[in-house]
């Protein structure tokens, strides 16, 4: 849910700073299917029917899906903002692995958003002796916010990174290469717009 707010904030900031929504179409990512698969696993994992019956398999699935999403982010680190997302995702993954597949959460933060000790496997829980507790879900969104939840330092970095990705993409002005790629056919073996395959250089 924290990510949804980051997307909205990024879109608003991009618009306020003169960005254009259509420029988002210029974003290009690799391994997108890895991120989609990792997030889909987590959505299923923390749905009521699955979380209540997954048992010991929950922790390794959570770690593996989080690692998959981090892999996607690292592969796309060239995109402005993605290094921040990578840092945040890595911070979360370290905390989850260090605590046996569960993100440690602050009891006060959970209480602030009205989350009690839920049955079954959950992505974050108050632990008796958490490892790397400061990296856990120690913050709480205001309870009046829709979909209020607890969040971590890593989540903040991920959110900031996503907002930067969106703002940078919206503010990016398409260059000559983008115009050529979008409007001119590529030759079989030469430069853009030369269907006869001839390049722009001279023959030697």
pLDDT digits (tens, 9 = 90+) for 22-46: 999 989 999 999 999 999 999 999 8
3-state secondary structure of 192: strand
Return d(Cα 87, Cα 91) in angstroms, integer.
6
pLDDT bin (cut points 50, 70, 90) of residue 194 is very low
Nearby residues of 23 by Cβ (< 8 Å), 6 or more positions away:
169, 170, 171, 172, 173, 174
Count of C-beta atoms within a 10 Å radius of residue 4: 12
Query: pTM to 2 decimals?
Result: 0.80
Return d(Cα 145, Cα 23) in angstroms, integer.
30
pLDDT bin (cut points 50, 70, 90) of residue 13 is very high
124: β partners = 103
Phi, psi of 151 (to 5 degrees): -155, 165
Phi, psi of 124 (to 5 degrees): -140, 145
pLDDT bin (cut points 50, 70, 90) of residue 175 is low
Encoded tokens for 110: 């959970």
CB 188 within 8 A of CB 197: yes
* Listed range (104-108, 135-139, 170-174, 183-187) with the worst mean pLDDT: 183-187
Return d(Cα 29, Cα 19) in angstroms, integer.
20
Count of C-beta atoms within a 10 Å radius of residue 135: 21
Return d(Cα 61, Cα 196) in angstroms, integer.
52
Return d(Cα 95, Cα 143) in angstroms, integer.
25
Residue 47 class from Cβ within 10 Å (0-12 exposed, 13-18 middle, 19+ buried)? exposed
What single DSSP character describes residue 27?
-
Return d(Cα 192, Cα 187) in angstroms, integer.
6
Predicted confidence at residue 136, as pLDDT, reads 96
């Amino acid at each position: 849910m924290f990510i949804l707010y980051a997307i909205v904030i990024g879109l608003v900031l991009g618009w306020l700073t003169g960005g254009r929504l259509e420029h988002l179409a210029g974003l290009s990512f690799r391994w997108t299917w890895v991120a989609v698969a990792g997030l889909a696993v987590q959505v299923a994992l923390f749905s009521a029917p699955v979380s209540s019956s997954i048992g010991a398999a929950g922790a390794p699935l959570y770690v593996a899906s989080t690692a998959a999403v981090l892999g996607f982010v690292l592969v796309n680190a060239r995109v402005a903002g993605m290094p921040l997302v990578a840092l945040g995702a890595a911070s979360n993954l370290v905390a989850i692995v260090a605590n046996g597949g569960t993100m440690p959460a602050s009891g006060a933060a959970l209480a602030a958003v009205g989350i009690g000790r839920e049955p079954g496997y959950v992505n974050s829980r108050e632990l008796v002796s958490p490892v790397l507790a400061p990296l856990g879900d120690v913050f709480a969104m205001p309870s009046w916010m829709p979909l209020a939840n607890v969040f971590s330092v890593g989540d903040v970095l991920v959110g900031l990174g996503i907002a930067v990705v969106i703002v940078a993409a919206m503010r990016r002005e398409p260059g000559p290469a983008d115009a050529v790629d979008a409007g001119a056919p590529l030759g079989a073996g030469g430069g853009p717009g030369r269907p006869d395959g001839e390049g722009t250089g001279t023959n030697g």
